[in-house]
Amino acid sequence: MAAPSARTLPAGHVLGRYVVVSRIGAGGMAELYLGRVDGPPRFAKPVALKLLHPHLAEDPQFSRMFVTEARIAATLSHANLVAVLDVDIEGPDSYLVLEYVHGRDLRQVLAAGGKMPLGLAVRVVIDVARGLHHAHAEALSEGGRPLGLVHRDVSPANVLVSFHGEVKLGDFGIAKASAHTVQTATGALKGKFGYMSPEQYLQEELDARSDVYSLGIVLYEATTGRRAFRGEAATIMNRVLDGNYVPPEQVVDDYPPALAAIVDHALALEVDDRFSSAADFADALEDLAADLGLDTRRESLATYVRGLFDDPPMPDLDVAARRPELAVVDTAVTAVGDPAATRATRPWALLVLLAIGIGVGGFAGWRMARSGAEAIAADDPPATPTATPEPSPDFGDDAGVVAPEPEPAAAAVAPPPDPPAPTVESDAPADDKPAARATRRRRRPPERKTEAKSDATPRAGMFPRGM
């Protein structure tokens, strides 16, 4: 995939009803901005604006993915999922308008504070599991049938924790619906290394239990302060396929055995050995919290997160709106040194030039016809020739260059960008020689037999096509 474009919209830039306040960051498909929607006097509400990268807007495949994300997101309505408020695919900018979550993503929380207090980590995972279950089993199509959504990218970077103790899962940008599959290039992997399930690496059919596995990795990391699978891409893949991770009770001395059993259940190699649904996963954690008397209150989570980041205030939305100029002279001058501006303003310039050309041509034709008629009348010939009018130019492809309309892909995506998750170090022993559980066996595709090699070298045939 090409590197994201270096576009940055200035503060005050207007997109429909929304005003850009500041840039938050960028991911693989889109850029994220803090925005503002204005209402009556002295009313302004923060929103997150997710814009498709300009270099991807012209790609039909990415345009379809962006549209699918919007359509999927429109079907989701749950307190633990980032809401999609609006979508606009008109003009050069195609964007989603998302609920703004005033807080930090879980990746930032773990980087700032290390492993979380046990009850708060359990609270975060329970809430994410409830949101996932809604997407897996409760979101319905227009015909009333379950969509069967699979997120495929559950990771700390996509889990948002607000300063009020709310937990929301975002970024359904690569979600897959059983009824509306986003087709990708053969061999393409969707997800983040270190958080994908074995069946994702093997490119097998996915269901809700793939997300359960990924959420199990998030639970491991939040309760131990370290990633379950880390290293080079090949090493990570081999360890996932072997079920080779350091048991959490070997990382944290007083790790509850009951919680270790839940982690082990979620990270089972075989799909059928995991929790059958995200709801079952959440129920098991609720029971554990009750049995151990853990503090899972959202008020406690809010206090913890605010303490890590010095209780930051809401962002300042006081930015003057700067609507783009439509004057022909100004846009022509801007287009000279700015290719992006050239593409955006070229239709206006061409339309004006065509209008001028048609007017001049029509006037010249009228003058020629009149002059000819006067000359003929003066000579008084026996017969008056008939003048054939010149055809008017049509508005064809050259009348204006309009970028293809990318449709925003469906699914409420979470605002923060998606850089690689930092490794949170702890005083626990390093995993240079991780202790694999004796009962684990390697997941392999049924039609391929491969020979085991060293831990740092990918198995023959294990890499998905295209890697």
Catalytic position from the list 153, 211, 242, 431 = 153
User: Tens digits of per-residue pLDDT, 53-105?
Assistant: 887 777 777 777 777 767 777 778 999 999 988 887 656 677 889 999 999 99
* C-alpha separations of 435 from 104, 427, 454 in Å: 33, 17, 15
pLDDT, one tens digit per residue, over 176-213 is 654 443 344 434 556 688 999 999 999 999 999 999 99
Identify the CA nearest to 415 among candidates 196, 192, 182, 161. 161
- pLDDT-derived band at 174 (thresholds 50, 70, 90) equals low
Contact 173, 134 (CB under 8 A): no
Please name the residues in contact with 420: beta carbons below 8 A apart, sequence gap of 6 or more.
192
Q: Rounded distance, CA 332 to CA 341, Å?
A: 9
pLDDT at position 368 is: 65
Model pLDDT, residue 25: 87
Mean pLDDT for 11-34 is 89
H/E/C letters for each residue in 313-332?
A: CCCCCCCCCECCCCCHHHHH
- Mean pLDDT confidence for 214-240: 96
| Average pLDDT of the segment spanning 350-356 | 69
Whether residue 3 is predicted with pLDDT greater than 80 in this model: the reply is no
Q: Beta strand 159-162 with 103-105: parallel, antiparallel or unpaired?
A: antiparallel
Q: Is 93 a catalytic residue?
A: no
Spatial neighbors of 454 by CB under 8 A, at least 6 apart, are: none
CA distance 325 to 434: 61
pLDDT at residue 332 above 60?
A: no
> 53-62, 216-225, 370-379, 429-438 — which one is most confidently predicted on average?
216-225
Decide if 152 contacts 176 (C-beta within 8 A): yes
So where are the chain's domains?
Answer: 14-99, 103-308, 328-379+391-399
> Could you tell me where the beta strands, DSSP code E, fall in 134-249?
149-150, 159-162, 167-169, 176-177
Give me the DSSP letters along 254-316: T--HHHHHHHHHHT-SSGGGS-SSHHHHHHHHHHHHHHHT----HHHHHHHHHHHTT-PPPPP
Tell me the residue length of the chain.
467
Token representation of residue 139: 């979101």
Cα torsion 55, 56, 59, 63: sign: negative
Residue listed under structure tokens 């370290």: 226
At the fourth CATH level, which superfamily is domain 103-308?
Transferase(Phosphotransferase) domain 1 (1.10.510.10)
**Single-letter amino acid, residue 307:** G
* Confidence check: pLDDT of 429 > 50: no
Pull the structure tokens for residue 229. Answer: 């699978």
More confident residue, 354 or 293: 293
Q: What one-character DSSP code corresponds to residue 397?
A: G
Q: What span, in angstroms and rounded, lies between the C-alpha atoms of 419 and 397?
A: 40
* CA atoms within 13 A of residue 186's CA, in its CB half-sphere: 1
Q: Does the structure show a pLDDT above 60 at 263?
A: yes
Spatial separation of the C-alpha atoms in residues 251 and 270, rounded to whole Å:
24
- Kindly report the number of other CB atoms within 10 A of residue 145's CB atom: 10
Per-residue burial over 339-371, b = 16 or more CB atoms within 10 Å of its CB, e = otherwise: eebbbbbbebbeeeebeeeeeeeeeeeeeeeee
Q: Are 395 and 152 in contact (CB under 8 A)?
A: no
- 3-class secondary-structure state, position 18: strand
d(CA 163, CA 103): 5
Q: What are phi and psi of 316, to 5 degrees?
A: -75, 120
Beta carbons within 8 Å of 236's beta carbon, 6+ residues apart: 193, 194, 229, 230
**CATH superfamily placement of domain 14-99:** Phosphorylase Kinase; domain 1 (3.30.200.20)
111, 180, 107, 120: which is closest to 150 by C-alpha? 180
CA 245 to chain centre: 29
Q: Rounded mean pLDDT of the chain?
A: 76
Which is higher by pLDDT, 439 or 110? 110
> Is the model's pLDDT at 319 over the cut of 50?
yes
Residue 310 has which token pair?
């010095």
Q: What percent of the chain has pLDDT over 90?
A: 46
At CA 282, angle to CA 171 and CA 157, rounded to 5? 25
What percentage of the chain carries pLDDT values higher than 70? 63
